Amino acid sequence: PNGKHATFARLRQTMGTCYYDSWIFHTPLELRDENRNNKFCINVYDRINTGEIYPRQKLIPELKRTGYKKPLYRQKPLDLFRLLLTDSRAETFIKAGYTKLLQRIMDSGWTLSIDNYFQSIRICIRNGYKIKDAIMWCDYVDMLRFFGKDLHNAKYVCPTDLKAEHDRYVIKKAKANARLEVEKQLEKEEDYRQAKERFFGLMFSDGIISVRVLESVAEIVAEGRAMKHCVASYHSKADSLILTACIDGKKIETIELSLSQLRVIQSRGYEKYSIIKTNHCISF
């Protein structure tokens, strides 16, 4: 009734955490508890797959009082029953009809995840908010936390259009991550200057197209933004020199040159489309 349990089983012949069910069949059935005598600090018997489950259930009164009926929500019976008997928050999920959310949090590890969401879930219950997509809602709350939003405020945790708000924050987080990546790259400005300073000021022109070396990490990042391709981290390539090609001051192409081979490795225009012929670049 209090969620405590014991395992009645034979001994096993295992390799670390592999082959959990390699039973030694001549050993007697005894009470087994591996929490205290294995270096992995887990009860290995809990990790054995349940397999087929007998469908008819006879529940103790303590389980019936939690509101549990029959579904297992894709969990092992022992895990679900033990949770319902030891953590009243699981009972709250079932009585509020948040069974998909219960499944989602158990799938991701109840102990690790429940504290991240439960206070927000209480706000949802208090406001009669129905969470139809548990995975999306949890992802949305994670992004709210990332941006420091009030997770006790129904304005945020009970959106009228969950998908629209989720998608908006996905875009917002992608931009934030991009800014963090740029800041991370800019911290390497001095390393880039020391490695490539001898090439700064180098420029070629055939009268129409002019090609010059990008002289800072900031310039390389700006080049990637302007041309919409992933050149921002190329400054860290020891054997590469990054150049930009322009016509009348307008960027038309980004060029990666191998210093050891003195040849163009790749040449990409706007959104990765190549404009300049490679031979034309080499002829410079």
CB–CB of 143/170 below 8 Å?
yes
Among 237, 244, 236, smallest CA distance to 268 is for 244
152 with 268, same domain: the answer is no
Q: How far is residue 239's CA from residue 7's CA, in Å, rounded to a whole number? A: 61
pLDDT of residue 4: 74
pLDDT of residue 203: 92
Last residue of a domain, one of 135, 152, 186: 186
Last residue of a domain, one of 160, 186, 212: 186
Domain that holds residue 274: 190-283
Q: Is residue 55 part of a domain?
A: no
Q: How far is residue 49's CA from residue 67's CA, in Å, rounded to a whole number? A: 26
Q: Is residue 56 part of a domain?
A: no
The 10s digit of each residue's pLDDT in 128-180 is 999 999 999 999 999 999 999 999 999 999 999 999 999 999 999 989 988 88
Q: Which residue has the tokens 């069974």?
A: 99
Q: Is residue 202 part of a domain?
A: yes
24 with 70, same domain: the answer is no
pTM: 0.65
**What phi and psi, each to the nearest 5 degrees, are found at residue 203?**
-145, 145
202 with 157, same domain: the answer is no
112 with 65, same domain: the answer is yes
Range 230-269 burial, b when 16+ CB lie within 10 A, else e: ebbebbeeeebbbbbbeeeeeeebbbbbeeeeeebebbbb
Q: Is residue 175 part of a domain?
A: yes
3 with 75, same domain: the answer is no
Q: Is residue 54 part of a domain?
A: no
Q: What share of the chain is helix, strand, coil (3-state, %, to 5)?
A: 45, 15, 40
The tokens for 14 are 């295992």
Q: Average pLDDT over the chain, rounded to whole?
A: 84
194 with 216, same domain: the answer is yes
136 with 168, same domain: the answer is yes
65 with 32, same domain: the answer is no
Q: Above pLDDT 70, what percent of the chain?
A: 85
Last residue of a domain, one of 186, 205, 224: 186
Q: How far is residue 224's CA from residue 157's CA, in Å, rounded to a whole number? A: 36
Beta strands in 187-258 (DSSP E): 203-205, 209-213, 240-247, 250-258
The 10s digit of each residue's pLDDT in 15-66 is 665 666 677 888 888 887 655 555 555 566 666 666 677 788 888 889 889 8
Specify whether the backbone of 8 is left (phi greater than 0), alpha (psi in -120 to 50) or beta.
beta
Q: Is the pLDDT of residue 282 over 50?
A: no
Q: Band of the pLDDT at 13, cuts 50, 70, 90?
A: confident
pLDDT of residue 145: 96
DSSP letter for each residue of 115-162 = HHHHHHHHHHHHTT---S-HHHHHHHHHHHHHTT--TT-HHHHS-SSH
The residue with greater pLDDT, 11 or 200, is 200
104 with 213, same domain: the answer is no
Q: Is residue 274 part of a domain?
A: yes
104 with 144, same domain: the answer is yes
Q: Is residue 69 part of a domain?
A: yes
Q: How far is residue 142's CA from residue 154's CA, in Å, rounded to a whole number? A: 15
pLDDT of residue 56: 85
The 10s digit of each residue's pLDDT in 237-251 is 889 999 999 998 899
213 with 273, same domain: the answer is yes
Number of domains in the chain: 3
76 with 176, same domain: the answer is yes
